[in-house]
Amino acid sequence: MKYGPNLTFIPAWIRQRPIHAATDDIVALIAGLLMPFSFAPFGFYGLTVVALAFLFQVITKATPMRALWRGWIFGLAMFGVGVFWVHESFKFAAVPLPLALLLTGGLVAMLAVYPALFGFLVAFLSGRFPVTRKSPLSIFSLKYRKNKNPEKIGARLKPPPLSALAPNANMPSTPTSSSTSPSVWRFLLVLPAGWILQEWVRGWFLSGFPWLQVGYAHIDSPLAGLAPLLGVYGVGWAAAISAGLLLLGFHLIKSEKSAIGKRVVGLSILLAFGGGIWVGSAWLAQKTWTTPVGTPIRIALIQGNVPQDKKWLAAQRQPTLDRYFSLTRQQMEPDLVVWPETALPGFYHHFPDFIAGLRQLAHTHPMNILLGVATRGSEPKQYFNSVVAITDAGEAFYHKRHLVPFGEYLPMADILQKVLDFLMIPMSDFSTGPATQAPLRIAEQLIGVSVCYEASFGRDIIGALPQATLLVNVSNDAWFGDSLGPHQNLQMARMRARESGRYLLRATNTGISALMDPRGRIMERAPQFRTSVLTGTVTGMDGATFYVRYGNQVVVSVILVILIIGVFLTRHNRNRANEATARTFDA
């Protein structure tokens, strides 16, 4: 009779792991915990290189299934710490805390799938499959393809003679399809390319979730110089290559097979290569991609600081309108005033008298006002999250194009609406704005407008470029309270300014409102949860960076080529390993 717990429900590849494998799991967990501290508000960008180096190490030592597991552990830790702030938004929808935590945990678990798949992919391309008589990879063997009969292959793969098992025998106890020794190909090409591929997929699949992409952590590092050239994915790619260089150097130092002289030469080459990436990026940071156009304009960003739990109350409506109107009227005739997302607590057509007062204010000072408000479309049940430009010449609208899933619209509504109704979770239902919308002409400048979530996507911002000379983002980060979310959102907006080479004005309800220059540096910043007005002078910028012209196409194309070559090389090496294994068993 067997005693003890029945663990058969746990997959064998987890139950049979040795102690050193569990240690590597812990390393993956710690690396994931480190990663969020490289992003705002902490800003220790070097941790991305260290964390990725640890992850790369434990993945390259693993079989694909173990690499998948370690990638998932890494992702759970990274997203569990880095995007836990999402649960804050549920309390404003009256979702019970246990359910909010459950939903947030589900999101974290889903996001962790991306680094898990990364681990599986690179372990596969590293050839970390055991090759034995029972291995499913025998289908890749040339002998299998020639004989077309697995039974014959099994008969020929007889056990090795006892002489081969002697202590000095020249045969591996467990043949593998590829060596586990450090590889320049693996550390500098496959691993960095695989990491950026999963970030890119995460940035567009199911609408996209680009938070905690490595490149954002480096907005203040020398690598930011690559942003106008290759965008946030190019910056992240350079950081991932740096992690590979660090890991390769570590293995070179530990190597006992190489002479000291060879190790010194190897380390010198690695240092020169890594230094070239960082110094070259710093040099690129000094390059001017765009030039001033038109006359400088005076701007004012209004941070109304209306608490989210009071924002839509009927009793709060008039005080909110009075606050924004008063703060605007107090300004010394700016050319452009920007209010946050949904600054007006209702639909645009609900405030005809208030809008008339704004028109009069814009005419008498004169000034131009951009404000966030919900608008109604021409079709039934068509509502937009919009920005309205109120100028002396009339009004113009921008309608948000990239909506937040489960926040502004419901994916698969036919299925999920019943679930949400059962859980009593309210859901907004905005319509998507037109895919192509011209920049708004204000104060002799063409303004590319984005609303909240859209500033997280470089591809959305460059849609208005290079025509737009100035960028404006309106947001309402009050949904996320005093958490990491608003800081991360500001950091992502800074990357948009860097990629495009344009000033970016960011007006938010409770913070963090900021004025950014074309290098993504913060010129002015309002404190969170305080009614504030940011003022300054900006200039429109003309021209197009390399990233504005080509977007993510260059980076994605190159990494796909690298990984496709990796697939063919892996298949070739695996066939050779399988043939060698067959010859060993035949001996």
Q: What backbone torsions phi and psi does residue 234 show, to the nearest 5 degrees?
A: -65, -40
The answer to whether 581 touches 132, Cβ cutoff 8 Å, is yes
Active-site residue (options: 400, 408, 454, 499)? 400
341 labelled catalytic: yes
Q: Which two tokens stand for residue 503?
A: 């000033």
Separation CA 115–CA 569 (nearest Å): 23
Name the residue with tokens 């079989």.
63
Q: Quick one: which of 541, 568, 396, 407 has its CA closest to 467?
A: 541
Q: Which two tokens stand for residue 125?
A: 């391309």
Separation CA 126–CA 144 (nearest Å): 22
| Residue 519, H or E segment | none
Active-site residue (options: 88, 341, 454, 499)? 341
Separation CA 90–CA 72 (nearest Å): 25
Sign of torsion, CA 545 546 551 555?
A: negative
Q: What proportions of the chain, in percent to the nearest 5, are helix, strand and coil?
A: 55, 15, 30
Separation CA 503–CA 303 (nearest Å): 19
3-state secondary structure (DSSP) of residue 297: strand
Cα 570 from chain centroid?
A: 29
Separation CA 45–CA 385 (nearest Å): 34
| Residue 337, H or E segment | strand 336-338
134 labelled catalytic: no
Active-site residue (options: 61, 199, 311, 452)? 452
Residues 6 or more apart from 2 whose CB is under 8 A from it? none
Burial (0-12, 13-18, 19+ Cβ within 10 Å), 19? exposed
Separation CA 191–CA 384 (nearest Å): 42
452 labelled catalytic: yes
Q: What backbone torsions phi and psi does residue 202 show, to the nearest 5 degrees?
A: -65, -25
Separation CA 231–CA 68 (nearest Å): 28
Catalytic residues: 341, 400, 452
